[in-house]
Amino acid sequence: RAGSHWCYQNQVKPSNYTCLGPDQWGDSCQNDRQSPINIATAKTLLDTNLGPFSFSGYDKKQKWAVQNNGHSVMVLLGDEASIAGGGLAARYRAKQLHLHWSKVLDWGSEHSFDGDRFAMEMHVVHEKEKGTSRNTNQNQDPKDEIAVLAFMVEAGSKNVNFQPLVQALSDIPNPNMNTMLKDNISLFDLLPKKQKLRHYFRYLGSLTTPGCDEKVVWTVFQEPIQLHKDQILAFSQKLYYDNEKKLKMTDNVRPLQPRGQRQVLRS
Ligand SMILES: Nc1nc(-c2ccc(Cl)c(S(N)(=O)=O)c2)cs1
Ligand SMILES: [Zn+2]
């Protein structure tokens, strides 16, 4: 219905059908270059231009601000870090990171590899740096305005570097709550080991949340992050979609979208 807010499928019925589930999302969400997709690894094309990333400011340890935005938990990165290389056409500033997850440990990632889904997926969202050349023939709606670095998360050994974020979840159970991490962590602390970041998939797609703008250059890394099962389950246990704490925040995962004619590249 017009004016209703967007939500994930598991929120539709509990909201008494007042919110719009994924098949009713508006804006660009019903177009044909959407995300997430299943990555059929055998059909990916090796692209030698997809070299290593250069990460700037990813080593800086900070007590980041963290918020429950009603759809995910979001760490606000305040333009402190940026990426270049990795086959990208420009430098991109890091804006925020957030995650998607389920309490079912093989159903919580948005992308999948050959039909395999992971417990969670972490997205580090970057925006293209504005060139200095004004009103040249800069494309006004480029397909790569946003660069998301996507990392799968699987259940395994305890990841001490994630503890500040896991512990912060207890401070922000309700939408629009904010807190600060109690310990300094860097973006590198949250990622797989640096030498594992050379292998990734690349394709052009969209935001996986409304308005689903088709302006995202996706990088999906092959190496998963490992968290202990209890660290993963904390996201579904501590966070709520609603102020009345009636509906735990879980399965905040958009259904797979058709790949269409898009070629998925691999580094
Ligand atoms: N309000 C919210 N916005 C998002 C968001 C914003 C930008 C982007 Cl790029 C994405 S995603 N999942 O495509 O990486 C999600 C999540 S929850
Ligand atoms: Zn996301």
Q: Which of 101, 207, 218, 239 to mutate to test the pocket of ligand 1 (most atoms within 8 A of CB)?
A: 207
Q: What's the gap between Cα 253 and its chain centre?
A: 10
- The answer to whether 205 touches 37, Cβ cutoff 8 Å, is yes
Q: Whose CA is nearest to atom 12 of ligand 1?
A: 208
- Per residue in 95-122, pLDDT (tens digit) is 999 999 999 999 999 999 999 999 999 9
CA of 134 to the centre of ligand 2 (A): 31
- The answer to whether 236 touches 227, Cβ cutoff 8 Å, is no
Q: What's the pLDDT at 181?
A: 98
**Which residues are CB-neighbours of 177 under 8 A, at least 6 positions away?**
67, 68, 171
User: How far apart, in Å, do the first and last CA atoms of the chain sit?
Assistant: 43
Q: Which of 72, 95, 98 to mutate to test the pocket of ligand 1 (most atoms within 8 A of CB)?
A: 98
Q: Is the CB of 123 under 6 A from ligand 1?
A: yes
Residue 139: pLDDT band (50, 70, 90) is: confident
257 closest CA partner among 221, 204, 199:
204
User: How much is the mean pLDDT over the chain?
Assistant: 96
Share of the chain above pLDDT 90, in %: 93
ipTM of the complex: 0.97
72 closest CA partner among 37, 103, 104, 97:
97
Q: What's the pLDDT at 258?
A: 98
- Per residue in 191-246, pLDDT (tens digit) is 999 999 999 999 999 999 999 999 999 999 999 999 999 999 999 999 999 999 99
Q: Is the predicted pLDDT of residue 135 greater than 90, yes or no?
A: no
Task: Annotate 30-94 with DSSP letters as a single string.
Answer: TSSS-S--EE-GGG-EE-TT---EEEESTT--B--EEEE-SSSEEEE-TT--EEEETT-SS-EEE
